Amino acid sequence: IESGGENLVRGLKHMLADMEKGQLTHTDGTAFELGRNIAATPGKVIHETPLYQLIHYAPSTDTVLETPLLIFPPWINRFYILDLSPEKSFVKWAVDQGLSVFLVSWKSADASMKDMVWDDYILGGQIDAIDTVRDLLGVESVHTIGYCVAGTTLAATLALLAARGEADKVASATFFTAQVDFSKAGDLALFVDDEQMKLVDQLSAGGFLD
C-alpha cells in the first residue's frame, strides 16, 4: 500500500534476475568491489595444490609475533567471509595485532575432485598447510583457526597429529561455529535425515556437489 505496489514489481525483477542466473541470491552481487568491500586485506598466494591456495597477508606492524596464525575457512564458503571491508575483516584485525596471518582458500568442487575424500582435506589440506607454513618460517608450531566444517576437520587433524606424536606442530586451536561431538547434534539433526541424505546423493551423483 505504501509503495503503490512498487515492492511487488521490484520483487518480480529480483526473481527474474535470479532465474536468469540460475541461482537464488540474497544480495546485489554488483555491490561488491574486490579490494574495497570484499577481500580487502593485502596479501598474496604463496603455495598452491590441486586442493587449495595458501594466502599470506602483508604485515601492518613493524614486527610480528614468532608463531604465525593459520586459518582454515569452510570449503563450502569462501575465504573472504573473514575478510570483507576493512571494518568487518577479522583478517585485518589479526594482522594489525602483529600476527603473521596465513589463510587457506579451498578449490571449488568440480569433476576433477570426484575421487577426493575427507582424508584429503586432512592430509593434503590442513596438515600440508601446517607443514608448509612451519617450513617457510622455520618455526616449530602454528596457531590455528577452524571455521565451520573446517573446524570439524581440524579436530580430526589434531587427533591424527597427536596419534603420530606430532601434536606440538599446533600451538593452539580455536574453533568458529564448529561442531565436533555429533552424538548431540542439536538443531543440525533437524536438517540431516534419511530424505536429506538421499537428496544429497542425487545432487552429487557425479561424485561432487557443485
Give catalytic residue positions: 148
| Cell of residue 193, nine digits | 535425515
What is the gyration radius of the CA atoms in the chain, in angstroms?
20
165 three-state secondary structure: coil
Strand, helix or coil for residue 22? coil
Note whether 181 and 172 are within 8 A (CB): no
Q: Coil, strand, or helix at residue 141?
A: coil
Alpha carbon of 99 to those of 90, 139, 142, 188: distances in Å? 12, 14, 11, 34
Give me 94's grid cell: 589479526
Beta strands in 16-79 (DSSP E): 43-48, 52-57, 69-72
